[in-house]
Amino acid sequence: MSASLLENLNPEQRAAVTLPHESALILAGAGSGKTRVLTTRMVWLIQTGQVSPLGVLAVTFTNKAAKEMMTRVSAMLPINTRGMWVGTFHGLANRLLRTHYREAGLPQSFQILDSQDQLSAIKRLMKAMNVDTEKYEPKKVQRFINGNKEAGLRARDVEAFDDYSMRMTELYEAYDAQCQREGVADFPELLLRAYELLYRNEPLRQHYQDRFRHILIDEFQDTNTLQYRWLKLFAGPRTALFAVGDDDQSIYAFRGANTANMAEFEREFAHGNVIKLEQNYRSHGNILTAANTLISQNAHRLGKNLWTAEGEGEPIRVFHAYSDQEEASFVVDEVRALNREGMNLSDMALLYRSNAQSRVLEHALFSASVPYRVYGGLRFFERQEVKHALAYLRLLTNPEDDGAFLRVVNFPTRGIGARTLGQLADGAARAGTSLWQAACTAGGKVAGFAKLIEDIKQVTADLPLAEAIDHVIEASGLADYYRADKEGADRLENLNELINAAALFAEESEAATYDAVDASAPAGAESFRALDTFLAHAALEAGEHQAGAGHDALQLMTVHAAKGLEFHAVFITGLEEGLFPHEQSAYDSTRASARSGSESFRANEESGLEEERRLMYVAITRARRRLYLSHAQSRMLHGQTRYSLPSRFLDELPEQVLLNLNRRNEPAYSSGSPKPAEGYKGASGYSAPAAPRSPQTGNDTGYKVGQSVVHAKFGTGIIIDFEGRGADARVQVKFRNAGSKWLALAYAKLAPA
């Protein structure tokens, strides 16, 4: 069977799959079949007897990817995959901590705080400590805590250099103590606690190093510092690491991703053993030529060149709009034309760099009655009514969870006011207990709430998971509350969907990525209750998004959200300086190093630009057959009209693969635009102009707002303001590399671009 397993692989894929027992870096370009290589490598190792299913550790970045990997393995191998360790970093860390909760210093039924729950816990802590929330904003405290955890730093390890950082460190330490007391863990804590567990427990570390002979990592370019350190703890002297990634698609620096991990991995483990997957099975040749040429501008990359056997395909269409409304109108016209020609709306994607751009696009689509879906809306497990139900469930398994207690103690309303809760909190603080314990000894309505939870717990103790959740929703009063609300029908449907989710989870529990009792784990591992595992599943799945089924709709999303997706036709909009590349990228990357000298400043500014270029590379490589690029001369953002130069990324694309599109008989926006093909007409009647015309003047000087100009000293820019007439006229020009400047036309030596 091993021969048939390999027969449809190209030479590079086959070389990666059949590597001997050694570590390697697989540099997998966009659309090169990396998921296929990963799963086939796993199956090949098991099928050829080199490792048992329990000896494989496979790490992904999304639950969807982990599930797809397990599905493919199950289809190719007649084995029970239940005991295999395949999942996300956080999912596997959760599994490790559940199995070894005693060694990790956690209660067996510890609960996971999502981002919103964590913020609520921080606010509660700051209130108890009388902290000024204007000086120490809760969200900044949250970022401080998470940033340090993701760097592997506890409060005692953080370097405090002034009063502000000292106070932030104190809050971090107090927050950790509160979480420990309540038996909860946030997302960054899962990985940090798992890392600490393996680092300090040598017998346990040795056990897993002996067990996992092969470690496979997907999307390695997205790993942060702590994730890489955690992986290295699993790597013993006999372990082979198989890291698959693409440094050209590293776009999550704002989340802590460290693209330098790839080069470090090559030095530490691969020792130059690098296989490049460059044959692309997604896009036509012109799209790949554009992507290769663009990304070659980045200096800090491992290097590869995508190619395809599918031919050059269609040219890349470029549209130069005078306004964001005209850009939106163009997109709508092209989408409708493609749809009339037989392309499904769901096979098209409209991408933008910033969410603020979507308003004009959505308005144009709505006005034209084009169905669309914004990818990445409010997720199911983050909806208010679902989080209320989950809080009740959390109290059933862990009454010490103060965050869950406070969320539902007075929801639906039971007449328990802020004063009563304040007194309860004071009593709990004096006694050193949880709010639940204080409520059990209190009287009145608070005691009534405690009795309600105890009654629910008693009734649901022996019920199947879905029936137990159904009872909680009814007995808690949530169902009646939303039935009585005239706008509560949708929320009630979501609660019913939660019951459905529980039923489906129970059915699929046998194929879950972690098992209740690991037969090969050290003694002491105990099984979980179904509700515990479902709550962990809910927290871990909170980031997954599922669009409504049965409706053909155009997909709208940011470029970041498009990572990992592909479409027949892709529109990349807003290609303007300051928007894409985003002006904030340079600021974010330089503000931390601005005090360390101009060379460091320039280096970090370039790093920010390189990440933006990688983001553009990701956007381009989402397209299979047709790609549109557009920009607007003027755009309404944040209530103001802004004039911008075309993105430098347009200048970095090869002219021979580009085709200018503009309305018939209208000029292209920039005289430096790629040359069009004479007589070509776009799907919706847009055509390449025969020749550009000079811009019309709006005054007696020959210049107008929005016109591209060139200055001998400052370079290329665009006129954004104008005042005066004749010899007294002056213009404000926004230069690409010199900022905005007012220039007197009589002396400026300005020329049309």
Residue 538: what pLDDT?
82
Flag whether pLDDT at 543 surpasses 50. Answer: no
- Domain 294-299+312-371+553-661 has what CATH class? alpha beta
Helix (H) / strand (E) containing 570: strand 567-572
CA distances from 146 to 107, 131, 197, 257, 499 (A): 22, 19, 19, 14, 32
Write down the CATH superfamily of domain 2-101+191-281.
P-loop containing nucleotide triphosphate hydrolases (3.40.50.300)
Kindly tell me if the per-residue pLDDT of 590 is higher than 70. Answer: no
What residue type is 304 in one-letter code?
A: K
Q: Which numeric CATH code is attached to 383-515?
A: 1.10.486.10
Kindly indicate the confidence band of residue 154, based on its pLDDT and cuts at 50, 70 and 90: very high
Residues in the chain: 753
Under a CB-based contact definition with an 8 Å cutoff, are residues 5 and 44 in contact?
Answer: yes
Domain ranges of the chain: 2-101+191-281, 111-182, 294-299+312-371+553-661, 383-515, 708-752
Q: Which residues are catalytic?
A: 34-35, 218-219, 249, 622
Return the H-helix or E-strand segment holding 641: strand 640-643
Q: Which of these CATH numbers, 3.30.70.2740, 3.30.930.10, 3.40.640.10, 1.10.10.160, describes 111-182? A: 1.10.10.160
pLDDT reported for residue 2? 60
For 275, the enclosing helix (H) or strand (E) is: strand 274-277
The residues near 284 (Cβ < 8 Å, ≥ 6 apart) are 308, 310, 311, 312, 313, 314, 624, 625
DSSP string covering 624-637, please?
Answer: EEEEEEEEEEEEEE
Q: Are 383 and 494 in contact (CB under 8 A)?
A: yes
Q: What pLDDT sits at residue 608? A: 83
Q: Looking at residue 584, what is its pLDDT?
A: 67
Enumerate helices (H) and strands (E) in the chain, giving the number of each. Answer: 29, 21
Tens of pLDDT along 85-105?
999 999 999 999 999 999 999
Q: Which of 91-105, 262-276, 359-373, 550-564 has the lowest mean pLDDT?
A: 359-373
The answer to whether 113 and 186 are in contact (CB under 8 A) is yes
| Tokens matching residue 478 | 């949530």
Q: How many CA atoms lie within 13 A of 133 on its CB side?
A: 14
Specify the DSSP element, H or E, that contains 709.
Answer: strand 708-711
For the stretch 514-527, what's the b/e string if a residue is b when 16 or more beta carbons lie within 10 angstroms of its beta carbon? bbbebeebeeebee
Q: Would you give the DSSP letter of residue 739?
A: E
Q: What is the mean pLDDT of the chain?
A: 83
pLDDT of residue 716: 83
Residues near 162 by beta carbon (within 8 Å), at least 6 away in sequence = none
Helix intervals (H) in 441-567: 444-460, 465-475, 478-484, 489-508, 530-540, 559-562
Question: 294-299+312-371+553-661: same fold as 2-101+191-281?
Answer: yes
pLDDT at residue 69 is higher than 80: yes
Which 8-state DSSP code applies to residue 269? I
d(CA 551, CA 522): 50
Name, of 70-84, 351-365, 393-407, the range with top average pLDDT: 393-407
Per residue in 179-215, pLDDT (tens digit) is 999 999 999 999 999 999 999 999 999 999 999 999 9
- Determine if the pTM surpasses 0.85: no
HEC per residue, 472-507: HHHHCCHHHHHHHCCCCHHHHHHHHHHHHHHHHHHH
Q: What is the largest CA-CA distance in the chain?
A: 90
More confident residue, 462 or 512: 462
Note the pLDDT tens digit of each residue in 653-688: 999 999 988 744 344 433 334 444 444 455 565 655
Structure tokens at 469: 């959740």
Residue 560 near residue 255, CB atoms below 8 Å: no
pLDDT score of 595: 35
**What is the arithmetic mean of pLDDT over 676-703?**
49
CA distance 246 to 223: 12
**For every residue of 70-118, which 3-state class applies, written as one string?**
HHHHHHHCCCCCCCCEEEEHHHHHHHHHHHCHHHHCCCCCCEEECHHHH
Residue 674 is given by DSSP the state P
